[in-house]
Amino acid sequence: MSAGISALLAGYDNVVLDLDGTVWVGDQATPRAAAAVAAMRAAGLGIAFVTNDGTHSPEEYVQKLWSLGVTAAGDEVVSVGSAIQHLLSERASAARVYVIGAPAVFRHVTDAGHRVANGTPSAEQAELVVAVAHPDFNYRELTIATRALLAGAQLISGGRDRTYPAGDGISPGTGALTAALEYAGGTTARVVGKPDQRVFQVALERLGPGRTLVVGDHLVADLGGAAAAGLDAAIVLTGVTTSDQAHAATAPAPVAIAANLASLVLSS
């Protein structure tokens, strides 16, 4: 017989799940994560997956979820790239954009109707710089982006996460890149990734009405972002937050703290 959901989860209509550090760490699912998601679906809860990692497209995240035994659909995944596209689509006219990011971020920029300036003579005169950390980031990218910012470009960042839990250990996040660009360019970024509420707003638009719980591993990105969006949040200890840090969190405080997603969700 499949496990049911906990009393805590039974009080919600929707759940927004962080990916890195919550559903998986690196290429491994957290303990019984697939069973937890299956139980929530069986209970009729709406589910969205959110991430500040912009290195992959939503479709690629769906493939990874399925490979770990977690069922998911493309419209359930909201990456930071999805949120950037959501923001850029609000601009009245097309802009030249210098992009620091993985190929998925480039696609989100063009899908929003804007022109990628990378590799063109006008890259240093771009009107926007979009920055999301990626494994192949290099000093040349930092240089071109800095020159564009000094010439008046607006900086749009994928988040302020200092670090994230990779499979081989803690790694620098988009926040580290953002700090460098702000310092070099003498500007302040418009941050779109968590803890900005836009990622959660996009998820809520897809989920529809109902009481929603955010589950994540990061006090600033997940707990703080949920609070900015007016949502409750629970913290799991499979990512960057320790038990002491989670229990010390106030204003906001998590509605629950659990060893992992399964222990939060499952009734047995």
H-helix segments, 43-197: 58-67, 80-88, 103-111, 139-150, 174-185
Where in the sequence numbering do the catalytic residues fall? Answer: 18, 20
Cα separation, 76 vs 19, whole angstroms: 12
Number of neighbours of residue 34 by Cβ within 10 angstroms: 19
Is 160:220 a contact under the CB 8 Å cutoff?
yes
Amino acid at 153: A
Number of neighbours of residue 55 by Cβ within 10 angstroms: 20
Whether omega for the bond prior to residue 31 falls within 30 degrees of 0, making it cis, is no
Is 68:92 a contact under the CB 8 Å cutoff?
no
For residue 145, how far is the Cα from the chain centroid?
22
